[in-house]
Structure 1
Amino acid sequence: MNVLIIGATGYVGTAIDEALAVRGHHTIGTARSETAHQRLAARGTASVSADAAKPGTLGPAVRSADAVVYAVSITDDDPWTVEKRALRAIAKALAGTEKTFVYVSGAWVYGATGSVPATEDSPLNPPRSVMRRAELERESLAMTRIGVRALNVRPGIVYGRGAGIPAMFVQSARERGAATVVGDGHNRWATIDAGDLGEFVALAIERGRPGRAYNAVNDDHYTMRAIAEAASRGAGAKGAVALVAPELMGHYGECLSLDQCVSSERAHEHLNWRPSRPSIIEELERGSYADALIA
């Protein structure tokens, strides 16, 4: 299958690209610059000049693919409007084809869940900074009404490969001797390893049911403080943490301080997916983040 990945050079897009290639799919990544073309070529991925921020460039690339994955994060003064235009351009190109479209969203759309695990049927209550993510999810699934096999994937906080949001704990521990914790740190995080997420998306393309959302998270839900302490230990700061008020982090702090429990039971059943990589605690203490420090 020829799979177009919009955002193939990014953190999540790279993992998706690798997982699809392992499963025998031919991947094509969008590239906005010559540097991006070169990065994709270096790992054996075909590339096409297209940019989600310029929806008019997407049509030809989308039409030539058997499946399309949207895994890009747009940095713009109004990213939600830009993404909405991109999704509508994709919908126009895919209309009536019965081809697959996967929109990579995020578990933050549930807001704070408390101790009752959120399922895909739980109401969405996103914090202000990702409020319009729910609107984009609706745009994605609306494609099923025009002959597109569309579905959404909602990953937890992605970790692994020495990068992603958890890297901020490592950086603060290295630079200031303590990992920064937003709030009191007692809130739980829904998480997933980048490699596991890549495999999840590949399975969603192959087995996912149109019109559905799928939560992509590990079964464990560690507190932010436990995660920060693990990062601190891995960085040689002996588990030291420093508390910072969420307000000082702006809207980002509101997301990081969400208390979330999320269920991936639907993915277990529909996709036969199970996470196989180390937990975020193990990865921070003695995995890729610790390896990056040694290097």
Structure 2
Amino acid sequence: MQVFVTGASGWIGSGVVPELVAAGHQVRGLARSEQSAARLRAAGVEPVPGGLDDLGSLRSGAENADAVIHLAFKHDFSNFAASGRSERAAMETFGEALAGTGKPLLFASGVALVRPGQVVTEEDASPFTGSEAPRGGAEALALGFADRGVRPIALRFAPTVHGTGDHGFLATLVGIAREKGVAGYVGDGANRWPAVHRDDAARLVVRALENPDAARVVHAIAEEGVPARAIAEAIGRGSGVPVASIDPDDVDAHFGWIGAFFALDVPASSALTRERLGWEPTEAGLLDDLAAGHYFSRAAA
């Protein structure tokens, strides 16, 4: 089938695209720069010029595809509300373009704030609605498109999607440890973070695309919750710095923007996803991936 992908050249998208191509799908990807377009062409993808705010490009891409995989998001932590409004506008555009077609609409979401402190399952509804909610309340909005003749699928990714080339959560923590001379965790470090290797997540996305009626909510979670202290200890070993508890009152000063997230306890299960889609992660876990050394060789470069 012909698949329109936003975020095709991003961290998760660049893992999903080769899986789509290998499965025989034709891929068109949103490209906001010529550099992104060149990367997409090299991956066998037809670029579609435009960004997330180019609603005409989003509408055209969706209308001319058999399915949409929406992975892009504006990770602007200085104005997260604006990012949410942009996300909502994009989702509304996809809903209008696909209404009545029965086409699948797969979209990135997350588990981090659904039920902090409790193990989140695929049966737990997102508590966020409205344009001012996190991510613009886009998950609840999109799942409602089922009543309008669309087949929506929420792809809830672990907050830590790791692997070689990752410049996100783990790489940021490694950089902070090197800068501060200490690998920190908050309080007692017992709070848990779910994790998934990007390659496992990418294979799950393709499986969900090809089985669009198997599940409305999919959890890309390989590990239910890795303790923050264990993450800090692995970073300390890899960076050659000591490990220490950071007082909750000092989190912002030590970690910056990522501190509020790293302090959360957000375990999540993927049991129903595995049962419904026959998915089983096979790649390295988070701590083993840190032990492999690639996060630290990049940081040292």
TM value normalised by structure 2: 0.87
Deviation at 1:261, TM superposition (A): 2.0
| 1:158-197, Cα deviation, whole Å (9 max, x unpaired) | 1112422011222123333322334442201111111111
Provide the C-alpha distance between the structure 2 equivalents of 1:136 and 1:220, rounded to a whole number of angstroms: 24
Matched with 1:189 is 193
Matched with 1:15 is 15
CA contact (8 A) 2:84 2:136 kept: no
Equivalent position amino acid for 1:269 in 2: E
Equivalent position amino acid for 1:42 in 2: A
CA contact (8 A) 2:58 2:93 kept: yes
Provide the C-alpha distance between the structure 1 equivalents of 2:53 and 2:187, rounded to a whole number of angstroms: 34
Matched with 1:64 is 64
- Give the SS at the match of 1:153: strand
**Which shifted more, 217-226 or 264-273?**
217-226
Q: Following superposition of structure 1 onto structure 2, how do residues 205-224 of structure 1 map, counting pairs within 5 Å?
A: 205-209=209-213, 212-224=216-228
**Aligned in 2, Cα 1:48/1:24: closer, same or farther, shift over 3 Å?**
same
1:159 and 2:165 aligned? no
| 1:52-77, Cα deviation, whole Å (9 max, x unpaired) | 12212211111111111111111564
Equivalent position amino acid for 2:153 in 1: L
Deviation at 1:153, TM superposition (A): 1.1
When the two chains are superposed, the root-mean-square deviation of aligned CA atoms in Å is 2.4
**Aligned in 2, Cα 1:79/1:210: closer, same or farther, shift over 3 Å?**
farther
CA contact (8 A) 1:32 1:49 kept: yes
CA contact (8 A) 1:178 1:242 kept: no
Matched with 1:30 is 30
Deviation at 1:247, TM superposition (A): 4.4
Provide the C-alpha distance between the structure 1 equivalents of 2:233 and 2:17, rounded to a whole number of angstroms: 32
* Aligned pair partner of 1:146 in 148, 172, 178: 148
CA contact (8 A) 1:144 1:210 kept: no
**Aligned in 2, Cα 1:124/1:176: closer, same or farther, shift over 3 Å?**
same
Q: What is the aligned length?
A: 289
Q: Structure 1 unaligned segments of length 5 or more: list them.
A: none
**Aligned in 2, Cα 1:131/1:229: closer, same or farther, shift over 3 Å?**
farther
Provide the C-alpha distance between the structure 2 equivalents of 1:86 and 1:139, rounded to a whole number of angstroms: 11
1:270 and 2:276 aligned? yes
TM value normalised by structure 1: 0.88
* Aligned pair partner of 2:251 in 246, 249, 256: 246
Provide the C-alpha distance between the structure 1 equivalents of 2:136 and 2:227, rounded to a whole number of angstroms: 25
Q: Following superposition of structure 1 onto structure 2, how do residues 32-51 of structure 1 map, counting pairs within 5 Å?
A: 32-51=32-51
**Aligned in 2, Cα 1:131/1:210: closer, same or farther, shift over 3 Å?**
farther
**Aligned in 2, Cα 1:271/1:171: closer, same or farther, shift over 3 Å?**
same
Equivalent position amino acid for 1:44 in 2: G
